[in-house]
């Protein structure tokens, strides 16, 4: 992955608007967060292969970046994004890594389902 170039990501989002997509969206602070620090409230979520067709999407912020995708009935929101790539299967992979290089958030868009 490489550092996000917001202009390139915006071009990609504009291109994908109106397309039927499969989404992987995830936030995580790690399964050991509360083990290492008992006062830490651990929360996280992931959804894999949710189907989504968005009307318009934007990337904002100065880095880490935020993305909002507006759908007919609602929204998708992600913050803390730092790296991205378009892989060989033409999937758009975005992620946010903390100072230790650990993944904190992932947002991925693909026209084909991700492997389960």
Give the footprint of another protein on this chain (CB under 8 A): 1, 24, 26, 28, 30-32, 35, 38, 46, 83, 85, 87, 91, 93, 95, 97, 100-104, 106, 108, 114-116
Pairing of the two strands 65-71 and 54-60:
antiparallel
Query: Residue 55 CB, nearest distance to another protein (Å)?
Result: 26
DSSP reduced 3-state for 10: helix
Query: Residue 73 CB, nearest distance to another protein (Å)?
Result: 26
Q: Which is nearer to another protein, 70 or 114 (CB)?
A: 114
Q: Which is nearer to another protein, 32 or 56 (CB)?
A: 32
Residue 11 falls in which region: left (phi positive, over 0), alpha (psi -120 to 50) or beta = alpha
Pairwise CA distance, residues 27 & 25, whole Å: 7
Judge whether 96 and 82 are in contact, CB under 8 Å.
yes
Query: Residue 31 CB, nearest distance to another protein (Å)?
Result: 5
């Amino acid at each position: 992955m490489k550092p996000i170039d917001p202009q390139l990501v915006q071009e990609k989002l504009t291109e994908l608007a109106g397309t039927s997509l499969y989404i992987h969206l995830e936030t995580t602070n790690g399964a050991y967060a509360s083990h290492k620090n008992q006062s830490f409230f651990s929360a996280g979520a992931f959804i894999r292969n949710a189907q989504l067709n968005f009307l318009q999407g934007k990337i904002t912020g100065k880095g880490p970046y935020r993305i909002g995708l507006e759908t007919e009935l609602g929204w998708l929101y992600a913050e803390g994004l730092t790296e991205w790539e378009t892989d060989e299967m033409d999937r758009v992979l975005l992620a946010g890594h903390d100072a230790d290089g650990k993944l904190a958030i992932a947002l991925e868009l693909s026209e084909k389902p991700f492997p389960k």
